[in-house]
Amino acid sequence: MTDAPASITMVGVDPACLGGIATLARCLCDRFSRDAADDFAYIVSSNQSSAFGKAAVFARALCSLRRRLNAIDPAAHIVHIHMADNASVMRARVVVNMAKKRGVKTLVHVHCDLAKIYEASSSSMKTAIEDVMRACDAVVALGSYMRDFAASFGHGRDSFFVLPNAVSCPASNPFDARSHKALFLGNVSQDKGVLDLLDALAAVKEDLPADASVDLCGRDFLSIQDCIRERGLADIVNYRGVVSPDDGFFAHYGLHVLPSHKEALPFALLEASAHGIPSVVTDAGSMAEVVASDEDGFVVRVGDVSALGDRIRRMLSDDALRSKMSRAVFEKTKAMYSMDAYMKKLGGLYERVLIVP
C-alpha cells in the first residue's frame, strides 16, 4: 500500500454486513491482504445481530485490540476506527481511550455528518462525541462538510483529512441509455428522502416515458407499499427489498436517484457512478462535491420536491442527455474514486498521522 513504516489496526463493523461502511471495509481488507509488507489487522467491533450478540462481539474486539496494543511498538502503530453515530460513538470512545493509554496514535474515520447528529443529540451523546473528537489524533471525513466541526475540537490541517469513499470500476462503461428504469438504493426511510421521491414522481408521472419505472431497493422503514399505493404509483414504482448489487444489477438502470435529507458520501452514489449511471441527488453531505450539476448529473436542494421531479422527468425523457452524462461520470469516477487512488491517499495520510506529535 505504502512505504509508511506502520502497523495498522482497523476497528469497525463486520465486513460481511450490509451498508456503506461494511462495503468499504471489504475493499480495504482485500487490498491490505494483497500487500504482505503491511502489518494489518481488522478487528470486528459490531455486527447486525441482537443487542446481546453485539455486546459479545465488542467484548471480543477489546480483547483482540488489547493483544495488538501490547504486541506492537506504539511509535509505529495506528488504530484506525470507523465510526458513524449512536452506539458506534460509544464504542469508538472506548477504543480511542485504550489506544491512548498505550501511546498509540488513533484516527477516527467518520461516516456520517457528525455535526448535524451532534446538534440533535442528547447531552450524554454530545459528551461522548466530544470525548472522541478531543481524544483522537486525527479525523477523516468523507467530505469538507465536517471541516468546521472538526476545527472546533482543534483538528486543523495536520489532523483533519477529507477522504471520499472509493469503488471498483468496470474496465469499460456498461451504461445502456435505452433503459428508462430509475434506481433508489439505500434505507427506505425519511432521512433518505424516499417520501420526497414518491411525491415528485406523483407530480410528473404523466410526463414520463411510457416504459419508465423506479425500483426502491433497501430496508423498509416506512411501510413503503402503503405509501406507493396512496400516491397512485403502484404501476411505476416497485419495492424490491434488500438487494446485494453486482455488475449485472446496475446494468438494468438508466438513472440513479438519491434525494437524502441527511448524508455523508453514500456508496450507492459511487457504485452507480462507477457503472456510468448519472444521478439526481440533493445537496446533503458531500454529494454535491461528487456530482457536477448539469455536467454528469443534477443536484437539487434538500426537500425541493418540485425540482426533484423536474430533473427526474428531464433525465428519463432525454436519452442523449443521459448518454452524455454517463460518459462524464464514468470517466470521473475512474479517475477520482478508484481504489488505487484511495489506497495511495490513505498511505500518505498514515504517514502524516505518525509524524505529527
Best mean pLDDT range from 62-71, 166-175, 243-252: 62-71
Reported as a single tens digit per residue, the pLDDT across 323-357 is 999 999 999 999 999 888 899 999 999 999 998 77
- Predicted confidence at residue 2, as pLDDT, reads 46
Residue with cell 482497523: 10
Q: What percent of the chain has pLDDT over 90?
A: 83
Could you tell me the three cell numbers for 328?
A: 462524464
- Predicted confidence at residue 20, as pLDDT, reads 86
Question: How many angstroms separate the CA atoms of 79 and 349, rounded?
Answer: 13
The CB density around residue 344, as the number of other CB atoms within 10 Å, is 13
* 28-40 average pLDDT score: 81
- Predicted confidence at residue 19, as pLDDT, reads 85
- Predicted confidence at residue 37, as pLDDT, reads 55
Sheet holding 77-83, edge to edge: 39-46, 7-13, 77-83, 105-110, 138-141, 160-162
At residue 153 the predicted structure's pLDDT band, cuts being 50, 70 and 90, is very high
Reported as a single tens digit per residue, the pLDDT across 50-88 is 999 999 999 999 999 999 999 999 999 999 999 998 899
- Predicted confidence at residue 246, as pLDDT, reads 79
- Predicted confidence at residue 78, as pLDDT, reads 96
User: Contact 9/77 with Cβ under 8 angstroms?
Assistant: yes
Q: Measuring CA to CA, how many Å separate 305 from each of 127, 133, 229, 245, 300?
A: 36, 36, 19, 27, 9
Mean pLDDT taken over the chain: 94
What lies within 8 Å, CB to CB, of 344 at 6+ separation is 2
pLDDT tops 60 at residue 3 = no
Reported as a single tens digit per residue, the pLDDT across 271-294 is 999 999 999 999 998 899 999 999
* 200-212 average pLDDT score: 98
Which one has a higher pLDDT value, 35 or 253? 253
What lies within 8 Å, CB to CB, of 318 at 6+ separation is none
| Burial class of 198 by CB neighbour count within 10 A (0 to 12, 13 to 18, 19+) | buried
* CA neighbours closer than 13 Å in the CB half-sphere of residue 45: 27
- Predicted confidence at residue 56, as pLDDT, reads 96
Question: How many angstroms separate the CA atoms of 57 and 229, rounded?
Answer: 41
Question: How many angstroms separate the CA atoms of 42 and 62, rounded?
Answer: 12
* 188-201 average pLDDT score: 97
- Predicted confidence at residue 38, as pLDDT, reads 67
* CA neighbours closer than 13 Å in the CB half-sphere of residue 238: 9
Helices assigned H by DSSP within the chain: 20-34, 51-71, 87-102, 114-120, 123-135, 147-151, 194-204, 224-230, 247-250, 267-274, 287-290, 305-317, 319-336, 339-355
* 95-115 average pLDDT score: 96
Could you tell me the pTM of the whole model? 0.86
pLDDT tops 90 at residue 216 = yes
* 236-247 average pLDDT score: 91
At residue 35 the predicted structure's pLDDT band, cuts being 50, 70 and 90, is confident
State whether residue 247 is helix, strand or coil: helix
pLDDT tops 50 at residue 305 = yes
* 3-20 average pLDDT score: 85
User: Contact 272/48 with Cβ under 8 angstroms?
Assistant: no
- Predicted confidence at residue 355, as pLDDT, reads 84
Question: How many angstroms separate the CA atoms of 333 and 134, rounded?
Answer: 34
Q: What percent of the chain has pLDDT over 70?
A: 97
Dmax over CA atoms of the chain, in Å, equals 66
Q: Among the listed ranges 98-102, 110-114, 166-170, 213-217, which one has the minimum average pLDDT value?
A: 166-170
